[in-house]
Amino acid sequence: MVNIFSEEVIGLDRITNDLKNAARKLSDRESRYLVDYYYQMQDYRIRAAAQEREARKADEPGEWTKYMFSNLKSIENQLKSALDLYGDQHESSVWAKEITGIGPVISAGLKAHIDMEKTTSVSSLHRFAGLDPTVEWTKGKKRPHNAQLKVIAYKIGESIIKVQNKEEPSKGSEVPGTFYGRFFVERKEMEHARNAAGDLADQAEDALKKKSYGKDTIAYKHYSKGKLPDAHIHSRARRWVSKLFLSHYYHVAYEIHHEKPHPRPWVIEHGGHKDFIAPPNWSPNW
């Protein structure tokens, strides 16, 4: 009987040298497609894994679910490898990959989507990534941001949160938590303090106007009292740390592209910090 899960049948062959060379020469347009395709494969793989688990619980064979899961995982890994090779050709991606929690897919996506000739400021990058709260989009109108980059920005925040307690002894850190993870914790504590003091009441009122909440929901109970629920506070802190990372990415990419110092940092002008927070692991070579 043929084992349908063998590598020969599933096709889990390693990427050939020709494909590796092609990955190093990927255009930004091709890379954008591969990043989007990677996240689609990841979603499909997660669904297939869930279906395979349910099949096991029901004592059903699940051969085809397992087969699909294995293939999707293989494609996912190969796409990640290709994007890693693409990123290695660009200094801004290499910098991003050195940040704990920022892998080859996110770093490749940033390089592929952000054109430093067209992106003239950190604020314009935040707007392009869907992180400008003053810009609203309604269906039927032209989208004011890049949907794929907005997904990447969200994943940046989630990745930072996931590794916030990871120790980094190799980088000289004596305490748990990554560089950006510590800023996420600090920002979240600040948002909670502002919320308790009633400083975010206008945000709560605005939330009630934009969406109808059931009166028995946790969200309504908080918003109706002029307070934001914990999930909303968490989202605000996540978006802020994503913006901080993107401001640093822009800083690094700007100096690489223009070979001159970056202008006054976003985190001082708009980010709520009085002191300059320099991008970690970065010293310009010019």
How many domains are contained in the chain? Answer: 2
pLDDT given at position 6: 39
Q: What is the mean pLDDT of residues 5-18?
A: 53
Query: Which amino acid is located at 232 in the chain?
Result: H
Do 175 and 256 share a structural domain?
yes
Do 198 and 58 share a structural domain?
no
Instruction: State the greatest distance between any 2 C-alpha atoms of the chain, in Å, as a whole number.
Output: 69
Do 154 and 62 share a structural domain?
no
Question: Rounded to an integer, what distance in angstroms lies between the CA atom of residue 28 and that of residue 58?
Answer: 45
pLDDT given at position 218: 94
Kindly state the percentage of the chain with pLDDT values over 90.
Answer: 62
pLDDT greater than 70 at residue 14: no
**Residue 227 belongs to some domain of the structure:** yes
Residues 86-116: tens digit of each pLDDT: 999 999 999 999 999 999 999 999 999 999 9
Do 143 and 76 share a structural domain?
no
**Residue 10 belongs to some domain of the structure:** no
Query: Which amino acid is located at 119 in the chain?
Result: T
Question: Rounded to an integer, what distance in angstroms lies between the CA atom of residue 243 and that of residue 19?
Answer: 34
pLDDT band at 227 (very low <50, low <70, confident <90, very high): very high
Place of tokens 């400083």: 199
pLDDT given at position 44: 87
Do 182 and 50 share a structural domain?
no
Q: What is the mean pLDDT of residues 221-225?
A: 95
Do 160 and 240 share a structural domain?
yes
Question: Rounded to an integer, what distance in angstroms lies between the CA atom of residue 146 and that of residue 130?
Answer: 7
DSSP 13: P
Residues 187-204: tens digit of each pLDDT: 999 999 999 999 999 999
Residues 240-256: tens digit of each pLDDT: 999 999 999 999 999 99
244: exposed, middle or buried (Cβ count in 10 Å: 0-12, 13-18, 19+):
buried
**Residue 167 belongs to some domain of the structure:** yes
**Residue 76 belongs to some domain of the structure:** yes
Do 233 and 122 share a structural domain?
yes
Do 142 and 75 share a structural domain?
no
**Residue 45 belongs to some domain of the structure:** yes
**Domain final position from 89, 108, 141:** 89
pLDDT given at position 61: 63
Do 139 and 235 share a structural domain?
yes
The per-residue pLDDT of the chain, averaged, comes to 85
Q: What is the mean pLDDT of residues 177-186?
A: 86
Please answer whether residues 187 and 241 qualify as being in contact, where contact means their C-beta atoms are separated by less than 8 angstroms. yes
177: domain range?
116-286
pLDDT given at position 4: 34
Q: What is the mean pLDDT of residues 120-140?
A: 88
Do 195 and 77 share a structural domain?
no
pLDDT greater than 90 at residue 276: no
